């Protein structure tokens, strides 16, 4: 049966077929330009980011001693061991405490510093530079300097405490204090970043809204919590994601200040210790890295799904 | 049928292609049980390579003397150039680099390997036995100190040669001891020191920044090594060969004594970073540290106008001697190179550890001379304290397998010691948990790989 064009149109009940796509030479040309520009970058990302990720997932299924030329396939054995050996509880607990404290500390103090630096005070340009400077310093250098500050025998802090008749706490030897010590250093290093991003948010805030609130009789504290802070929510959201990812991957200062990870065994440090630090269990370490990857993925997804709903865009 | 390229197709095809390529190029270890080996090489038919790499952490601040010895080697062997590579600041960092280098094809030829690393290399087949290679370059290994060379014996082969070898020494502040009315010597036993410590503490407490009569070395710096002295003295230990004894009654007794010196008696502390630095800062009166720290410590003490003495490690209530463990590092030759490079590496290793050069290395660092025929007279003329270390070398004891042959054991021991010494944890429970950890490591990662 041949359905003529006029017959089909004459039924009146059938929708009109979509117009056939015509790929002009221009569109094809643009596609090739896109390909030429994007492909080299995609290849680099694939080779240096996704290939190691896939290879790491493969390694996580092996019982492999680092440096050894042979390995045994154990499937999900490494994951099973991590979650059943008791390591998972302490490592995930330490990771949670460290992450919450460093993200929360950096953001709260960063916001306070940003509010202070947003005032018209003399020397604020210098103060802004000084606040941001620790963020760009090498983590290794920062760790070395703070190690000297915290040293209970010849550290600066110990000297100050002795001056007022107090003994220095065992910052490095006591596992609870060593976690607090690295948290302090990370917050000090990262709060400048949060402060500068918050400062940018404060400076781009619509002044008419603030003036309207002031005219309505809202004092500075009410204005901050009911107007300024909600309007900063896109900035807070951005900082929450970036700081969280950064904290979960924090390594350098922990390694320098607490080389055995006693009290500071976060997920990433445990992955390091298992493969390179002591045990040479490359497969087990790869499994811990995959757990960290999944955790990062889930947390970022949850934030995008739920936290973004609370964000107010001006 | 023709298909046109759109964005979705492009990403799908690219992703598929790259994913396949990535998985295909996984590389890494073989799961088929293959291993690199140089067994059976006829070394007489091999010509040494023209260039090799030496990876070192420059133990005992030895970068200058290593560079000088390499220069001498190149003069004596004009056909071989040696590239000195800094592999890190300590043995662990060198080990990381050497092990990760196994994934590629550019491994260093000669590597500094500490007492806890050479065995792992040996069972992983990443290094070669030295005996045939040293024989091929005419090295009479009989000149090596038997204990130090014997430390590297496994399956009747030597997998390393001694290089920067050390033992712990007892360091004390002579001025502090004098102020307490004590003799100018190290205590012969820990019981004797326990009677001295309150006097030392009382005599020096008013000095600014003074803390303790004795400082245990930083736990991150090989606690398992130095604590063997106390354990052995009380009849305990980390293990007896492969029989783990970390929670045996004598070991619990020894670690309880350690805890008491800190918590109950209060005359001992634990260093946060470096006990000899604590000593040269005047904060403590005595500690135990490596002979590799000897020259640097004496120089620092001279700068601080301080008199430092050294002595044998004290004995215990059960055993007075031998209670001093050997330690330090040797040199290994990588397996994943060519026979030509291995032969050149053996020539270099033999040169670096010959009688004349081990004496030079010892003079520059304080490490032990590794050959019995090393002429130490010039060294002793400038640093007579080295004689104490040389005398103590005669009564040393090879370390417990549990510390040196189990991957991660040193870290587990340091963490257990931290619980006992810093957190006042129950000693028996903590050592029981350590025993379980060590047992797990042995059964999972060592026992299946032991060579027959």
Task: Give a yes or no: residue B18 inside a domain.
Answer: no
Q: Is A64 within 8 Å of chain B by CB?
A: yes
**Greater confidence, A10 or B406?**
B406
DSSP-assigned letter for residue A50:
I
Question: Residue B7 has what pLDDT?
Answer: 57
Question: Residue B16 has what pLDDT?
Answer: 53
Nearest to A104 by CA among A266, A236, A205, A301: A236
pLDDT tens sequence across B165-191? 999 999 999 999 999 999 999 999 999
pLDDT tens sequence across B113-145? 999 999 999 988 899 999 999 999 999 898 999
Task: Give a yes or no: residue A27 inside a domain.
Answer: no
Decide if B120 and A42 are in contact by the 8 Å CB cutoff. Answer: no
Q: What is the CATH number of the domain that holds B301?
A: 3.40.190.10
Beta strands in B129-194 (DSSP E): 153-154, 157-158, 161-166, 168-173
Give yes or no for a contact between B258 and B285, defined as CB atoms under 8 angstroms apart.
no
Percentage of chain A with pLDDT > 90?
A: 60
Task: Give a yes or no: residue B272 inside a domain.
Answer: yes
Q: What is the CATH number of the domain that holds A137?
A: 1.10.3720.10
CA distance B40 to chain A (A): 20
Question: Residue A196 has what pLDDT?
Answer: 94
Task: Give a yes or no: residue B194 inside a domain.
Answer: yes
Which of B34, B220, B408 comes nearest A69 by C-beta? B34
Question: Residue B73 has what pLDDT?
Answer: 97
Task: Give a yes or no: residue B245 inside a domain.
Answer: yes
Residues B124 and B217 in one domain: no
Residues B129 and B143 in one domain: yes
Percentage of chain B with pLDDT > 90?
A: 75
How much is the average pLDDT of A274-278? 86
Residues B403 and B433 in one domain: yes
Distance, in Å, from the CA atom of B442 to the CA atom of B425, rounded to the nearest integer, reads 25
pLDDT tens sequence across A283-307? 999 999 999 999 999 988 888 887 7
Which of A19-23, A149-153, B49-53 is predicted least confidently? A19-23
Return the H-helix or E-strand segment holding A104. Answer: helix A87-117
**What residues are paired with B240 via a beta bridge?**
B243
How much is the average pLDDT of A256-264? 90
Task: Give a yes or no: residue B34 inside a domain.
Answer: no
**What residues are paired with A270 via a beta bridge?**
none
- Compute the mean pLDDT over every residue in chain A, rounded to the nearest whole number: 88
Q: Which domain holds residue B403?
A: 168-325+399-449
Residues B345 and B303 in one domain: no
Residues B281 and B411 in one domain: yes
Residues B341 and B441 in one domain: no
Question: Residue B309 has what pLDDT?
Answer: 96
Residue B61 has pLDDT above 80, yes or no: yes
Which tokens is B421 given? 């010494």
pLDDT tens sequence across B21-44? 555 454 577 766 544 455 678 888
Task: Give a yes or no: residue A51 inside a domain.
Answer: no
Residues B237 and B179 in one domain: yes
Task: Give a yes or no: residue B14 inside a domain.
Answer: no
pLDDT tens sequence across B215-260? 999 988 789 999 999 999 999 999 999 999 999 999 999 999 999 9
Decide if B36 and A69 are in contact by the 8 Å CB cutoff. Answer: yes
Residues B336 and B430 in one domain: no
Decide if A173 and B99 are in contact by the 8 Å CB cutoff. Answer: no
Phi, psi of B62 (to 5 degrees): -100, 15
Which residue on chain B is closest to A259 by alpha carbon?
A: B220
Give yes or no for a contact between A66 and B99, defined as CB atoms under 8 angstroms apart.
yes
Task: Give a yes or no: residue A263 inside a domain.
Answer: yes
Beta-strand relationship, A62-63 and B110-114: unpaired
Which of B19, B99, B283 comes nearest A67 by C-beta? B99
pTM of the model: 0.83
- What total of structural domains would you count in chain B? 2
Question: Residue B366 has what pLDDT?
Answer: 84
Residues B419 and B301 in one domain: yes
Question: Residue A121 has what pLDDT?
Answer: 85
Give me the residues of A, 264-303, that contact B with CB < 8 A. Answer: 273, 276-281
CA distance B318 to chain A (A): 30
- What total of structural domains would you count in chain A? 1
Task: Give a yes or no: residue A295 inside a domain.
Answer: yes
Residue B418 has pLDDT above 70, yes or no: yes
Residue A18 has pLDDT above 80, yes or no: no
CA distance A232 to chain B (A): 36
Question: Residue A1 has what pLDDT?
Answer: 39
Q: Is B99 within 8 Å of chain A by CB?
A: yes
Residues B127 and B263 in one domain: no
CA A83 to mean position of chain CA atoms: 24
Burial class of residue B362 in the structure, from the number of CB atoms within 10 Å of its CB (0-12 exposed, 13-18 middle, 19+ buried): buried
DSSP-assigned letter for residue B252:
H
Question: Residue B11 has what pLDDT?
Answer: 58
- Compute the mean pLDDT over every residue in chain B, rounded to the nearest whole number: 90
Question: Residue A19 has what pLDDT?
Answer: 59
Distance, in Å, from the CA atom of B330 to the CA atom of B151, rounded to the nearest integer, reads 10
Nearest to B356 by CA among B338, B372, B380, B374: B374
Give yes or no for a contact between B261 and B346, defined as CB atoms under 8 angstroms apart.
no
Question: Residue A94 has what pLDDT?
Answer: 95
Q: Is B96 within 8 Å of chain A by CB?
A: yes
Question: Residue B222 has what pLDDT?
Answer: 83
CA distance A183 to chain B (A): 18
Task: Give a yes or no: residue B20 inside a domain.
Answer: no
Question: Residue A8 has what pLDDT?
Answer: 42
Decide if B422 and A173 are in contact by the 8 Å CB cutoff. Answer: yes
Distance, in Å, from the CA atom of B170 to the CA atom of B289, rounded to the nearest integer, reads 7
Nearest to B154 by CA among B330, B352, B384: B330
Return the H-helix or E-strand segment holding A193. Answer: helix A175-203
Residues B56 and B179 in one domain: no
Which of B32, B272, B414 comes nearest A151 by C-beta? B272
How much is the average pLDDT of B305-324? 93
How much is the average pLDDT of A217-246? 91
CA distance B120 to chain A (A): 9
Give me the residues of A, 3-62, that contact B with CB < 8 A. Answer: 23, 28, 31, 34-35, 39, 42-43, 46-47, 50-51, 54-55, 58-59, 62
Question: Residue B104 has what pLDDT?
Answer: 80
Which tokens is B208 given? 């600014």
Q: A34 contacts in B (CB within 8 Å)? A: 7, 10
- Name the band, by pLDDT with cuts 50, 70 and 90, for residue B204: very high
Cβ contacts below 8 Å, chain A against chain B, sum to: 160
Of B308, B339, B374, the residue that ends a domain is: B374
**Greater confidence, B445 or A189?**
A189
pLDDT tens sequence across B80-116? 999 999 999 889 899 999 988 987 888 999 999 999 9
Decide if B219 and A35 are in contact by the 8 Å CB cutoff. Answer: no
Residue B17 has pLDDT above 70, yes or no: no
Q: Is B41 within 8 Å of chain A by CB?
A: no
Task: Give a yes or no: residue A68 inside a domain.
Answer: no
B316: Cα within 13 Å, side-chain hemisphere: 23
Which residue on chain B is closest to A170 by alpha carbon?
A: B272
Q: Which domain holds residue A218?
A: 77-310
Residues B270 and B366 in one domain: no
Give me the residues of A, 79-98, that contact B with CB < 8 A. Answer: none
**What residues are paired with B368 via a beta bridge?**
B165
Interface test with B, best of A260, A272, A284 (most B CBs within 10 A): A260
């Amino acid at each position: 049966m041949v359905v003529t064009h006029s017959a089909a149109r004459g039924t009146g009940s059938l929708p009109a077929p979509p117009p056939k796509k015509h790929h002009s030479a221009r569109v094809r040309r643009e596609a090739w330009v896109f390909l030429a520009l994007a492909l080299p970058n995609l290849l680099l990302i694939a080779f240096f980011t996704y290939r190691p990720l896939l290879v790491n997932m493969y390694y996580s299924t092996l019982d492999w001693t680092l440096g050894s030329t042979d390995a045994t396939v154990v499937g999900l054995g490494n994951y099973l061991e991590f979650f059943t050996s008791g390591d998972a509880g302490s490592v995930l607990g330490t990771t949670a405490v460290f992450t919450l404290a460093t993200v929360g500390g950096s953001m709260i103090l960063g916001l306070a510093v940003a509010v202070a630096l947003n005032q018209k005070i003399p020397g604020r340009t210098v103060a802004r530079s000084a606040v941001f400077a620790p963020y760009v310093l090498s983590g290794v250098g920062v760790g070395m300097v703070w190690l000297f500050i915290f040293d209970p025998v010849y550290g600066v802090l110990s000297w100050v405490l002795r001056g007022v008749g107090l003994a220095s706490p065992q910052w490095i030897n006591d596992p609870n204090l060593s976690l607090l010590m690295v948290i302090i250093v990370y917050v000090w290093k990262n709060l400048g970043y949060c402060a500068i991003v918050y400062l940018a948010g404060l400076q781009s805030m619509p002044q008419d809204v603030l003036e309207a609130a002031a005219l309505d009789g809202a004092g500075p504290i009410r204005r901050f919590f009911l107007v300024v802070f909600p309007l900063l929510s896109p900035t807070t959201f951005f900082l929450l994601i970036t700081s969280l990812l950064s904290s979960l991957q924090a390594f350098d200062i922990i390694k320098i200040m607490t080389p055995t990870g006693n009290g500071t065994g976060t997920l990433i440090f445990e992955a390091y210790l298992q493969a390179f630090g002591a045990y040479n269990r490359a497969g087990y370490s790869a499994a811990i890295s995959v757990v960290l990857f999944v955790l990062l993925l889930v947390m970022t997804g949850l934030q995008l799904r739920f936290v973004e709903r609370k964000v107010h865009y001006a | 049928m023709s298909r046109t390229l759109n964005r979705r197709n492009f990403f799908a095809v690219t992703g598929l292609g790259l994913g396949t390529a990535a998985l295909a190029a996984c590389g890494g270890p073989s799961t088929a049980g293959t291993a690199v080996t140089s067994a059976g090489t006829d070394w007489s038919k091999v010509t040494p390579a023209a260039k090799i790499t030496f990876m070192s952490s420059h133990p005992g601040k030895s970068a200058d003397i290593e560079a000088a010895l390499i220069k001498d080697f190149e003069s004596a062997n004009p056909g071989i150039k040696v590239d000195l590579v800094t592999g890190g600041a300590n043995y662990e960092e060198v080990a990381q680099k050497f092990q990760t280098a196994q994934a590629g094809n550019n491994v260093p030829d000669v590597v500094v390997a500490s007492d806890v690393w050479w065995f792992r290399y040996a069972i992983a087949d990443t290094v070669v036995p030295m005996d045939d290679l040293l024989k091929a370059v005419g090295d009479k290994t009989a000149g090596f100190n038997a204990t130090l060379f014997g430390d590297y014996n496994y399956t009747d082969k030597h997998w390393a040669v001694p290089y920067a070898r050390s033992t712990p020494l007892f360091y004390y502040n002579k001025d502090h001891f004098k102020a307490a009315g004590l003799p100018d010597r190290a205590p012969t036993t820990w019981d004797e020191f326990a009677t001295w410590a309150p006097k030392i503490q009382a005599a020096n407490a008013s000095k600014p920044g003074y803390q303790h009569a004795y400082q245990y070395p930083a736990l991150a710096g090989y606690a398992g090594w130095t604590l063997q002295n106390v354990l052995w003295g009380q009849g305990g230990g980390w293990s007896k060969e492969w029989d783990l004894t970390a929670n045996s009654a004598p070991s619990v007794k020894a670690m309880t004594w350690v805890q008491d010196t800190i918590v109950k008696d209060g005359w001992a502390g634990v260093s946060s970073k470096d006990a000899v630095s604590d000593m040269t800062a005047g904060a403590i009166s005595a500690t135990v540290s490596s002979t590799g720290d000897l020259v640097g410590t004496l120089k620092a003490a001279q700068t601080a106008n301080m008199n430092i003495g050294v002595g044998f490690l004290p004995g215990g209530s059960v055993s007075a001697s031998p209670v001093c463990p050997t330690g330090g590092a040797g040199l290994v030759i990588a397996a994943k190179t060519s026979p030509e490079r291995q032969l050149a590496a053996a020539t270099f290793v033999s040169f670096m550890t010959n009688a004349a050069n081990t004496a030079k290395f010892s003079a520059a660092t304080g490490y032990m001379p590794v050959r019995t025929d090393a002429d130490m007279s010039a060294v002793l003329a400038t640093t007579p304290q080295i004689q104490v270390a040389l005398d103590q070398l005669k009564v040393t004891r090879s370390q417990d397998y549990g510390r040196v042959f189990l991957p991660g054991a040193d870290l587990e021991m340091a963490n257990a010691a931290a619980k006992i010494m810093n957190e006042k944890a129950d000693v028996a429970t903590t050592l029981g948990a350590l025993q379980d950890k060590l047992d797990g490591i042995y059964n999972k990662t060592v026992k299946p790989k032991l060579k027959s």
